Structure 1
Amino acid sequence: MNVLSTKLFGTSGIRGSITEKATPSLAMALGRALGTFLGGSGRVGVGIDARTSNIMLRNAFISGAVSAGLDVTDLGICPMPTVAFYSSFDEVSASVIITASHNPSTDNGFKFFSGGREFVRSEEEQLEASVRDSAYLVVPWDKVGSIRRYDLKETYLSRCIEFLTGRGKGSNGTRVLVDLANGAATNYTPDLLGRLGFSVTTMNSHQDGHFPGRPAEPSPRNLGDAMRMAADSDFAVTICHDGDGDRLAVIDEKGEFIDQNRVIAVFARDEVERNGGGIVVTSIDTSSVIDEVVNKAGGEVVRMPLGSLQEFLVSERGKDVVFASEPWKPVFARLGGWMDGILGAGRFAQLVDEIGEGSCVALMKTVPEYPVVRDFIRCPDDVKKDFLPRVKSLLIPELSEVVRVLEVDGFRAERKDGSYVLVRVSGTEPKARVYVGAKDQTTADALAKKAKDAMTAALDDLQQ
């Protein structure tokens, strides 16, 4: 398979094996495509995470970019939020980070930014078309771009501190544990928290693209060491990152992993209250606990497909957004349109101090805790087109008191009691997924069974 002729972008940029997809050939092609997209001039930033393949891919990308007339700022190893932040500078046309985020060490990828937010789908499609058709701008020898180095850390951290000190007071030494996943945020989050007055202890805090401490995804199954350390010590809160710092996970002082829906709700409530209302944009797979908390605070929740928050941010209503988030990835819209686990770490620690009075457990008692059920069935790609309409026709009549059905990235049936059922097909795997939320486990389990029965019946019908 020629990767240059296939669909490149998924819901979070381009990711894949460095031998099959995220290859040096693709890196150079993307550099040339970006130069073509920008008309053969402009300044772009290029950052990398700590993966072992990144220097290879960075050099290939930069070669392609300067050959198409772009001036490149090499940002070195740095977290994704800093690369996105750089794209918001007036003199910068775009930026790209070479990373596979929480994927295994064998993978790598590319994510593009402009104006402080991710490329929207129409921009990604232009890059794909250029790569697919090998349609690149070629500049003469005297128009080839330049390369310079720039360490963005102090500029970025200063902006974060300015933002955070406008929202909360400094800490008096509240203890915070940070698990940095041996990733790109190793010398960012601890510095930020320290400057805010927290007493910081780190783990997995040296950069290593092999991710020796744990896999890069900050999920409960990978955070056993951090959870045990949190339970056995006196940290007020534990913050865990992925490989490039756009994600954060939270563990309380009892060593309990905090569900991402509740973390989003904490951030969203804070921003809505602080701004006197506003829109919170979140992905279709998040819990109704966010709606409950945001509505009570005077805000409005809008849901988008996974990987599409930026589409709303650039829309006419985007100016009214005060916060956005997919699970793990907060966007503080009053600072910029990028996902920022580092800034999120700083603000969450502040909220533990301010609302929880030094206790994550106390902070989280202010947000309801409702059960969520997630499951999937295998769903071959050749039936996906007809699968969702068939499931919908079977499932909706079985659900009582449905008040709204959102047809965004699948369909989500919302009931009067606040429970919901979301069914969607995977864009990357032969799977169909179901997400169920309710205020009690019995209701959640019953809805999940109805949904899975309908999914199985629909698949049987389509495969006859």
Structure 2
Amino acid sequence: MARKYFGTDGIRGATNRMPMTAEMAMKVGMAAGAHFVRGDHKHRVVIGKDTRLSGYMLENAMVAGFTSVGMDVVLVGPMPTPAVAMLTQSMRADLGVMISASHNPFADNGIKLFGPDGYKLSDADEEAIEALIDGDVPLAASAEIGRAKRIEDARGRYTHFAKASFPRDLTLDGLKIVIDCANGAAYQVAPSALWELGAEVIAIGTSPDGKNINDGVGSTAPQVLCETVVASCAHIGIALDGDADRLIVVDENGRVIDGDQLMATIATGWARRGRLNGGGLVATVMSNLGLERHLAEQGLGLVRTKVGDRHVLEAMRSRGYNVGGEQSGHIILSDYATTGDGLVAALQVLAELVRADAPASEVLHRFDPVPQILKNVRFDRTARPLEAASVIDVIASAEAELATGGRLVIRPSGTEPVIRVMAEGDDRGQVEAVVDRICEAVRAAA
């Protein structure tokens, strides 16, 4: 079924424009609350947010929506997305809400929903909520209207949870770590957790003003982190995104280490200690071929999914894997969390660094990525360029040319009218030529 409001990761858009208006946020609260009011117990929803200015508006609107259908609301303030998922479980809530647009600019915002098990909602739940948004939601009787309460110890609860994922026999004593919190949701909890584990912490991106989230800082803008690591002679740099479910690392030389390298580091380390489930890891079609080859050399497998952490998580749960993620740094470690958790993933990377007692540039560079080229081609929404015979022929020719020495991924974007054309292989010139040829064919057919 086509979605009207929900995308690949909740509802997202520019604030004060549909669907990110206060009115819509209230309707989502009413619809989601009505959908999850089941049984005769007192129902509860946990609401967290990142540091965007619009978070105040959307938070209050959602409180009105949830309380109007009889749900009590627990407000935890600025907290990472994985913290909201954890608290939803821990507090036996019926629903969890994270108000965030992740790595997007401050003018955007979004709504992510978690079920009582701490996992993102199923397609069926999202479709049921969409139907209620556009329908009539029964309101609670006057005596059954919900209450709202803000709890002050949520940061401490999550900090303790994250620290508990770090091996008890290790500390971060002697490590100088630069942490970039993107002026986002983890601006307090991430530096605190690292300091409490013994690290010397240099924190940047920890002065949110409502408008500077992800602005020149964070996992999508690591240049300041790279410069700070080198200038301060730090051992490693860690960058989170606006809602702290994504992680990018910088080694002591200021070189960026992406999610593929980090997943390889964690998976091979866990495999050595006999705690890697599934005999490998789960990643998307966008992860580098070098990762797949490296894992094969270690006797480990790679399961690929469509782009999106929800697809990664679905495959992990159905196949029994406990490590998965995306090249962008969205890493899911299901032994600890029900969604991507940048801080928990960072602590696992740091554990490998401590155990190896070697520079980050050696420990975290697990393989040489093969050349990978990605280009986007815009098209008219009414056109179907990938169904054109000319495009199909060019793609078939490219697949034959790359054969076993490379890989081709062509897919329409889920958020904008573009076709994404990605190819990778050992010969950069060949890869670039293949991508250009396909892009030209798509443009001609669009």
Q: Does 1:38 align with 2:26?
A: no
Per-residue deviation, 1:81: 1.4
CA contact (8 A) 2:316 2:322 kept: no
How far is 1:459 from its partner?
3.8
Distance in 2 (CA, whole Å) between partners of 1:54 and 1:169 is 38
Paired residue type of 1:7:
K
Displacement after TM superposition at 1:313 (Å): 3.8
2:312 & 2:286 partners in 1: Cα distance?
16
Q: Equivalents in 2 of 1:145, 1:389: separation in Å?
A: 58
5+ residue gaps in structure 1? 403-414
Matched residue SS, 2:260: helix
2: CA distance, partners of 1:140 / 1:362? 63
Of 25, 28, 50, which aligns to 2:26? 28
Q: Which residue of 1 is the match for residue 436 of structure 2?
A: 452
Paired residue secondary structure (1:58): helix
Aligned partner of 1:246 in structure 2 is 245
* Unaligned 5+ runs, structure 2: none
Q: State how far apart, in whole Å, the 1-side matches of 2:375 and 2:185 are.
A: 32
Aligned to 1:422: 409
Normalised TM-score (structure 2) = 0.90
* Residue 422 of structure 2 corresponds to residue 435 of structure 1: yes
Cα shift at 1:353: 2.3
1:199 aligns with 2:200: yes
Give the equivalent residue in structure 2 for 1:412: none
CA contact (8 A) 1:35 1:137 kept: no
Superposed CA offset, 1:76-128 (max 9, x none): 11111101111223621120111111111111111111212222322222222
Is 2:208 the partner of 1:230? no
Name the residue aligned to 2:121.
119
- The percentage of counterpart residues that share the same residue type is 26
CA contact (8 A) 1:264 1:325 kept: yes
Change (3 A) 1:305 1:138: same
For the 8 Å contact 2:371–2:431, the answer to whether it is kept is: no
| Counterpart secondary structure, 2:9 | coil
**In structure 1, what residue type is equivalent to 2:103?**
H
Q: Which residue of 2 aligns with 1:83?
A: 84
1:15 to 9, 12, 15: 12
Q: Where does residue 406 of structure 1 map in the other structure?
A: none
Secondary structure of the structure 1 residue equivalent to 2:382: helix
**Residue pair 1:179, 1:226 contacting (<8 A) in 2 also:** yes
Deviations 1:104-155 (CA, angstroms, capped at 9, x unpaired): 1111111111212222322222222211x22313211122122222232222
Contact 1:173 1:197 in 2 (8 A): yes
- The answer to whether the Cα contact below 8 Å between 2:52 and 2:213 also exists between their aligned partners in 1 is no
Q: Which residue of 2 aligns with 1:129?
A: 131
Deviation for aligned residue 1:276: 4.5
Counterpart CA distance in 2 for 1:147 and 1:67 is 11
Tell me how far apart the structure 2 counterparts of residues 341 and 91 of structure 1 sit (CA, whole Å): 24
Q: Is the CA contact (8 Å cut-off) linking 1:391 and 1:454 kept in structure 2?
A: yes
Deviation at residue 57 of structure 1 after TM alignment: 0.8
1:121-160 to 2 correspondence within 5 Å?
121-131=123-133, 133-150=134-151, 151-160=153-162
Segment of structure 1 superposing worse, 246-255 or 450-459:
450-459
| Structure 1 stretches of 4+ moved >6 Å | none
Matches within 5 A, 1:170-319: 170-211=171-212, 214-215=215-216, 218-219=219-220, 222-274=221-273, 275-278=275-278, 279-307=280-308, 309-311=309-311, 313=313, 317-318=317-318
Deviates more, 1:285-294 or 1:186-195: 285-294
In the TM superposition, residue 292 of structure 1 has moved relative to its aligned partner by 2.6
Q: Label 1:319 to 1:454 Cα distance change in 2 as closer, same or farther (>3 A).
A: closer
1:390 is displaced (CA, Å) by 5.8
Partner-residue secondary structure (3-state), 2:74? strand
Does the aligned pair in 1 maintain the 2:33–2:66 contact within 8 Å? yes
Displacement of 1:23: 0.7
Between the aligned partners of 2:17 and 2:277, the Cα distance in structure 1 is 47
Contact 2:285/2:304, CA 8 A, preserved across alignment: yes
* 1:277–1:299 Cα contact (<8 Å) kept: no
In structure 2, the partner of 1:109 is 110
Q: Distance in 1 between matches of 2:227 and 2:376?
A: 30
Once the two structures are overlaid, the 10-residue window that deviates more, 262-271 or 429-438, is: 262-271
Q: Give me the TM-score of the superposition, normalised by structure 1.
A: 0.87
* Secondary structure, counterpart of 1:262 in structure 2: helix
Greater shift, 377-386 or 429-438, is seen at 377-386
What is the root-mean-square deviation in Å for CA atoms of aligned residues? 2.5
